């Protein structure tokens, strides 16, 4: 690496350090705020979102930021350690030490590209988070209760969406999806009726020559979410408090 390359390289790494100083605290605060843990099971690849709600999409972006940040820190500190090693090898000034220094310097360019790419990806996911917050009126500071409420929404919508898929394919709701419905406080057989009614409504529209859009399905999920949002609380209050069965209302109004 000649002197001019080294000057350009040092300036570039200084610029990256300044960006890191400004960006990483924002990302760390965001990850903590969105309840992202290292063992978080949600995954996303190249912003092909899974999940049913914008807040989950934001969590997925934050998870990707966390992954990039861990890799970035590892690369950054390895990069700085190699700079120190190179300086010490140059001081020895023997042929083998100088050769090792040249080898490490060649690796510095590679690590610089890794750092730049990671910084760009961090910024990319941050832009996606900002856009999602703006487009869906999500506050800049997301309170914990909003996370908890959204988890409930996600559970209801996800369970009904999987139930619809299985009902369309097999006419049955498998045990795993039934358990998801039960965890959301929803009777699986009642959910099956809802799915049958929705599928019949879609078939009727198709017979009329109309093709329902995805919004048609989202409207159904909105209705299910609204109808069963408090269902899990009912289960806790009426069932888990060990009240006598004859004091428990075992039905609810249907729609």
Q: Is residue 155 a contact partner of residue 183, using CB atoms and an 8 Å limit?
A: yes
What is the pLDDT at residue 101? Answer: 84
Q: DSSP for 150-209?
A: HHHHHHHHHHHHHHHHHHHHHSS--HHHHHHHHHTT--HHHHHHHHHHHHHHHHHHHHTT
What is the Cα–Cα distance from 78 to 208, expressed in whole angstroms?
65
Q: Which residue has the tokens 């057989």?
A: 189
Q: DSSP for the chain?
A: --HHHHHHHHHHHHHHHHHHHHHHHHHHHHHHHTT--TT-----BTTB--SSSHHHHHHHHHHHHHHHHHHHHHHHHHHHHHHHHHHHHHHH--HHHHHHHHHHHHHHHHHHHHHHHHHHHHHHHHHHHHHHHHHTT--SS--HHHHHHHHHHHHHHHHHHHHHHHHHHHSS--HHHHHHHHHTT--HHHHHHHHHHHHHHHHHHHHTT----HHHHHHHHHHHHHHHTTHHHHHHHHTTT---GGGS-------
Q: How far apart are the first and last CA of the chain?
A: 74
What is the pLDDT at residue 10? Answer: 54
CA torsion angle for 198, 199, 202, 206 (degrees, to 10)? -160
pLDDT along the chain (255 residues), means of 10: 48 57 61 49 46 82 82 82 88 87 80 78 85 87 85 90 92 91 90 94 93 92 91 60 48 50
What is the pLDDT at residue 205? Answer: 93
What is the pLDDT at residue 2? Answer: 42
What is the Cα–Cα distance from 162 to 157, expressed in whole angstroms?
9
Backbone angles phi, psi at 167, to 5 degrees: -65, -40
What is the Cα–Cα distance from 225 to 246, expressed in whole angstroms?
29
Cα atoms in the 13 Å half-sphere on the side-chain side of 181: 21
The two structure tokens encoding residue 217: 């399905």
Neighbours of 24 (CB within 10 A): 16
What is the Cα–Cα distance from 154 to 136, expressed in whole angstroms?
16
């Amino acid at each position: 690496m000649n002197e001019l390359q080294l000057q350009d390289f040092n300036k570039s790494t200084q610029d990256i350090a300044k960006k890191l100083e400004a960006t990483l605290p924002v990302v760390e605060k965001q990850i903590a705020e969105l309840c992202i843990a290292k063992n978080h099971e949600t995954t996303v690849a190249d912003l092909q979102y899974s999940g049913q709600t914008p807040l989950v999409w934001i969590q997925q972006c934050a998870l990707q930021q966390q992954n990039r940040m861990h890799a970035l820190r590892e690369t950054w500190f390895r990069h700085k350690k190699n700079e120190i090693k190179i300086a010490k090898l140059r001081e020895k000034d023997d042929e083998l030490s100088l050769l090792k220094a040249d080898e490490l310097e060649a690796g510095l360019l590679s690590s610089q590209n890794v750092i730049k790419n990671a910084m760009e990806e961090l910024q990319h996911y941050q832009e996606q988070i900002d856009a999602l917050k703006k487009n869906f009126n999500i506050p800049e500071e997301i309170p914990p209760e909003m996370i908890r409420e959204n988890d409930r929404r996600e559970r209801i919508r996800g369970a009904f969406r999987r139930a619809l898929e299985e009902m369309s394919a097999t006419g049955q709701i498998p045990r795993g999806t039934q358990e998801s419905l039960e965890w959301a406080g929803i009777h699986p057989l009642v959910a099956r009726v809802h799915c049958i009614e929705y599928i019949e409504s879609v078939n009727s529209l198709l017979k009329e020559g109309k093709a329902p859009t995805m919004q048609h399905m989202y409207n159904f999920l909105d209705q299910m979410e609204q109808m069963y949002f408090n269902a899990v609380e009912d289960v806790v209050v009426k069932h888990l408090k060990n009240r006598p069965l004859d004091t428990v209302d075992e039905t609810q109004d249907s729609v």
